[in-house]
Amino acid sequence: MSVRPIPGTLLSLLLLCSAGCGSDAADGLVVVGLTTELAVGFDIERVERTTKVDGVVTRTEGLSYRRGQLSLPAELEVGPARDGAEVELSIAAFRDGEASPVLTRKAATRAAGGRSVLLPVSLDEACCAISCAASATCAAGACVDPFIAPSALDDYDPQWIASANDACKTPSSGDPAVVIGLGQDAFASLEHGEVVPIEAGPQGGHHVWLALRVTGLRQMGSRLTVEGYFPELEFELLPFTAQITLHRAAEGGCEIDGVRFQVDRGLPVETVRGQALDIQVTLEDPNGDVGTAAQRVVLSP
């Protein structure tokens, strides 16, 4: 089974049904919309899932962020199920290096002949410290029945994920915003025109360590572009681009630190020391939402 990123504003998607069923018009599909407010790669490093159809295990699978397998949202398709078949999903989410899950979640419904239904499933931070009876599951901090009748579910629409929960992009986060700071290991505020140190890189060249504070953009899959211009030298640096994963900040919003931007690409380092450098940052998330920021610094003499 392949794991592939989903375009748009998204969080995560699992398509599951019985692998042994036929494909006639009476079959139904259950699309499980898996969402979380936890930060993938930080609060959650891996997930393990088990699916059952009519009590029979049809798939077990583990996906690790560290191994490049857990890129949420994701789309995992199993196949159609006969009308009335009970479809069950169990998810266990783990932190890095921990053998016990930080939380578990179950969900169940029945395939409805001729329909593709959306079964919403969330991994909620409020459930991290809660244990429920075997017949229940935790949602929004409370133990509830994992079964939802198909009549209570909406028809599947790929656009549902545009409003899905995200660790960094919430209904209250507002328009995209980016703040440029400094930091190899943590975000530090940066004043306009501040003198910043430059550091020799392990493979040549010299760089500054940037950090970003971000709101209103997806946690995973955003495309970062950093540009630089020396106004007194009338010289434009080659841009740096990367796909990044944000983590939640204690002060709110999300951050990334350790962004290494080379400042002497195409110029001798002694030429750029003491020079003003205009930095431009653009961050575009998988939905196409964009945040930008600009800051002038002065490189240390």
CA distances from 198 to 8, 235, 239, 273 (A): 37, 18, 17, 9
* Token couple for 95: 């932190």
The pLDDT tens digits along the chain (301 residues) read 333 344 333 333 333 433 344 444 479 999 888 888 888 999 999 999 999 999 999 989 998 998 888 777 766 665 689 999 999 999 999 999 999 999 999 999 999 999 999 999 899 999 998 999 999 999 999 999 999 999 999 999 988 877 787 889 887 888 999 999 999 999 999 999 999 999 998 888 999 999 999 999 999 888 999 999 999 999 999 999 999 999 988 877 899 999 999 999 999 999 999 999 999 999 999 889 999 999 999 999 9
DSSP state of 217: S
- Spatial CA neighbour of 248 closest among 40, 2, 14: 40
> DSSP states of 2-70 as a string?
---B--SS---EEEE--TT---STT-BEEEEEEEESSPBTTTBSEEEEEEEETTEEEEEEEEETTTT--
* Token couple for 71: 């890129």
CA 263 to chain centre: 30
Which segments of the chain belong to CATH 2.60.40.2550?
177-299
* Helix/strand/coil for 135: coil
Q: Are 266 and 191 in contact (CB under 8 A)?
A: no
User: What architecture does CATH give domain 177-299?
Assistant: Sandwich (2.60)
* Token couple for 129: 């410290």
